[in-house]
A and B are shown apart, each in its own frame.
Chain A
Amino acid sequence: MEKFTSHTGIAAPLRRSNVDTDQIIPAEYLKRITRHGFEDGLFAAWRKDPQFVLNQPEFADATILVAGPDFGTGSSREHAVWALQDYGFAVVLSSRFADIFRGNSGKGGLLAAQVDQSVIEQLWLAIEANPATQVTVDLVERQVRAEGITAPFEVDDYVRWRLLEGLDDIGITLQHADEISAFEHRRPAFAPVTIGT
């Protein structure tokens, strides 16, 4: 995983609350068995509407998504994170993220940064007034910055550390292989197995 320290780019305003993962990527796109190439499924239904924000040329190069509250609810599909990344997003800003989506983001290297809804409103106004506004999301300082706006964001300490270092979770866990084996010896005899009975 690549290290994430700070990101600056164009931000797209998504003025919707409760953006569920079925909207982020509909189930029909989940049949693929590859890890990349999900950009065409991102917000597939909404993108059929010419007025949809991502269809506006000024937001074609957006790398930061500024969304309403409760982003990423619903299905656990990690494809939602992959679709956002494949499309070109590096950061999603929202005042509240669904737990599974937030977890998936951290693992995939997409920064889900939580800010106050008032900051979301300020950003929406700023980028709608001037779509070329450069927004910086600084993971080192935990700060969102744009012209006239400086605001802190919340991100889990451990996720932040992993993103800053670009570390792979499985590698970290396997450093504790001895402890896992020791735990397995302590498990109760009645615990079920799926092979045999």
Chain B
Amino acid sequence: MGKTLAEKVWDAHVVHRAAGEPDLLYIDLHLVHEVTSPQAFDGLRASGRPVRRPDLTLATEDHNVPTIDIDKPIADPVSRAQVEALRTNCAEFGVPLYSLGDAEQGIVHVVGPQLGLTQPGMTVVCGDSHTSTHGAFGALAFGIGTSEVEHVLATQTLPLKPFKTMAITVEGELPAGVTAKDVILAVIARIGTGGGQGYVLEYRGSAIRGLSMEGRMTICNMSIEAGARAGMVAPDETTFEYLRGRAHAPTGEEWDAAVAYWSSLATDDDASFDAEVVIDAASLSPYVTWGTNPGQGLPLSADVPSPDDAADEVERVAIERALEYMGLKAGTPLRDIQVDTVFVGSCTNGRIEDLRAAAEVLKGRKVADSVRMLVVPGSARVRLQAQQEGLDRTFIAAGAEWREAGCSMCLAMNPDKLAPGERSASTSNRNFEGRQGPGGRTHLVSPAVAAATAVVGRLASPSDLTAA
């Protein structure tokens, strides 16, 4: 019987296999940031162990860096201590680091792909659950905890239990105005925040093949919100074209050898998945979340649900609690919900294509007076490219704030936060209670919906706008 993409990548990385033990897998790329690494480096120091492969390790500063005044010392002393600890650790252990102010600094999951370090068939880990992003290249990529960070630093391997595989097949053509973000929000609403637990998801079907690498990254990024540690898309011409010529992509004969190998990775026709979900692309429309977990999403045209709609008692309580936290009434049309903040950015939607989509909507329009809009590029490189394309001028002319690169308001570890009771439309990945600041309320949306919402002041899609 044939193998799935995920099984092929797994099998190609087994260092040690024995009955009753997890497989020991080799890790091709280990990305590191300031939040989940200090205790891991401390562990190495305490046990006198070196970093086995600094040349397969890359660090960047992203989670708590400021997005203004980056030429000045970080104001928050605790954030500064964490960033400084990363700098000291990387220097001591020989790990390359892109610091604040460097042209390659940015969110780890934006930096790896744009440097060409994330390639098909690789194993990629990082102490961050959105490492699933890199699966868009046909890599097996997943988030790990700090103990595992230490383990990979010390051994370049991880002991892992086999996973199950789930095919998410999105067949057909996406209607106009429906983006990768809408697809993944719809998938999560369908299978739930626990639906992917224990699985690696493989996104398949003509709608997925039709997506750019940026779109595929958005989808794989939020696999974790469906409960799966990893999501993957089989590499194809779109993947190869994205990689060709990037700083760390192979060249010459090695490129040819790599493409030949990458082309062999797609799931075999006679392989079978442990589970399969099929979604009709034509049935999708712009999605938005109304509640406090990413599975609580609906088409923008829908109304806020009622606890009476729940299938069971656990869900009824969850809906009730979410409505209370979000300050929403059952039956309110989602389009009537007013927001005061719009955030465009994050490892989900902070890439160049996302900024283009938001700018396209804002061109010739103004952000509503009642709305503060933050645009935070996913990396310094994305920021530069956007400026070359003039996107920054569109954002600024519309009244949005054009910031420096980082994780920013996605998780509010830096000064970019919602105040208690404030409501955002956010292109990020989590609408948990307090995620964007204590008491803040988050509606997850695509970049196009975020921009349209900024103009209208209520949740809206570009189709709601009159001609600019």
Contact = CB atoms under 8 A, between A and B. Distances in A.
Interface string A137-169: 000000000000000000011100000000001
A33 B82 contact: yes
A45 B249 CA distance: 45
Contacts of A195: 54-55, 96
Contact of A180 (B29, B38, B157): B157
Q: What is the size category of the interface that chain A forms with chain B?
A: 35 or more
Interface in B11-63: 15-16, 20-22, 24, 26, 28-29, 35-36, 38-39, 42, 47, 49, 52, 54-58, 63
Interface stretch (A3-11, A99-107, A124-132): A99-107
B28 A173 contact: no
Contact of B49 (A27, A81, A170): A170
B36 A18 contact: no
A192 B137 CA distance: 14
Chain B residues touching A, range: 35 or more
B116 A192 contact: yes
B56 A193 contact: yes
Contacts of A18: 193, 293, 318
A192 B29 contact: yes
Given A35-B42, A76-B143, A179 B15 contact: yes
A158 B161 contact: yes
A15 B321 CA distance: 12
Nearest to B255: A190
B194 A96 contact: yes
Interface string A44-77: 0100000000000000000000001110011111
Contacts of B194: 69-70, 73, 96, 98
Interface string A1-44: 00000000000000111101011001110111111000000000
B314 A68 contact: yes
- Of the candidates A32, A78, A174, the one having the most CB atoms from chain B within 10 angstroms of its own CB is A78
A146 to B, nearest CB: 22
B157 A78 contact: no
B148 A26 contact: no
Given A158-B161, A176-B16, A188 B261 contact: yes
A148 B153 CA distance: 47
Given A30-B413, A77-B36, A103 B15 contact: no
B441 to A, nearest CB: 13
B338 to A, nearest CB: 24
Contact of A22 (B36, B227, B314, B434): B434
22 contacts: A18-B193, A22-B430, A22-B432, A28-B413, A31-B76, A31-B81, A31-B82, A31-B413, A33-B38, A76-B144, A76-B145, A100-B144, A103-B144, A104-B148, A169-B147, A170-B151, A174-B154, A176-B15, A180-B155, A191-B119, A193-B55, A194-B58
Interface of B: 15-16, 20-22, 24, 26, 28-29, 35-36, 38-39, 42, 47, 49, 52, 54-58, 63-64, 76, 78-79, 81-82, 85, 96, 116-117, 119, 122, 127-129, 143-148, 150-151, 154-157, 159, 161, 193-194, 197-198, 224, 227-229, 247-250, 254-255, 257-258, 261, 293, 314, 317-318, 321, 411-413, 430, 432-435, 438
